[in-house]
Amino acid sequence: MKIKDVILQNNLEFSGGGTDKNSTHCYVDYFYEEAFEPYRDKKVSVLEIGISGGYSLRLWREYFKNAKTIVGIDNRPEVVEQVNRSIPGVEYHFGDAYTQEMVDKLPKFDIIIDDGNHWTDHQIKAMELYLPLLKKGGLYVIEDIQHGWPLEGHIKDPYGMLKSALPEEYTYVFHDLRDVSGRFDDSMMAIRHVE
């Protein structure tokens, strides 16, 4: 089953309060369908940093049917929708994701998705903390890389900064989807731990 089918069958469309991964962002069509297909039926461990309403965790639980564990981290428990507060097979950690204390509570993962604070310096900090938890052959995704955000002090070259912070044992590809969606932040980085 495709991710888009899971979204439709489980009423996870963003317009209904669900995930933005296939609506305001076009990550499902242009990245996740192909990238996650090899993992779909395996006993994977998945981590998402930044869960907001919790709909992405529901999506991953429904898509990765054989997942060993699905974990979400957020510092705002109050924003998780009631319907997503106790999804069977999903583990929640509430607190500051950008601390070693949080990382020390976690196992290794096959897939890590950074959908937390979208500032480049926080994405770099998350890489420093969470890449050591990525299993060999695993996939680490940084969503919502921001380009041209009209705030003073915004980083002009987020790709360059993220690339320079990446250790040598990892490979990466940027997926710039801004022309597809028309959003300044519809951009992602896919990092793989070289086996």
d(CA 89, CA 67): 8
d(CA 49, CA 56): 11
CATH superfamily for 35-193 is Vaccinia Virus protein VP39 (3.40.50.150)
Q: Name the CA radius of gyration of the chain, rounded.
A: 16
Q: Which of 93, 118, 122, 154 is an active site residue?
A: 118
Q: Is 122 annotated in the active site?
A: no
Instruction: Give 143: exposed, middle or buried? Use CB within 10 Å, 0-12, 13-18, 19+.
Output: buried
Q: What is the pTM of this model?
A: 0.92
Domain boundaries, the chain: 35-193
Please report, in tens digits, the pLDDT of each residue of the chain (195 residues total).
898 888 888 877 765 567 777 666 778 888 999 999 999 999 999 999 999 888 999 999 999 999 999 999 999 989 899 888 889 999 999 999 999 999 999 999 999 999 988 788 889 999 999 999 999 999 999 988 877 655 545 566 788 888 889 998 899 999 888 888 767 777 889 999 876
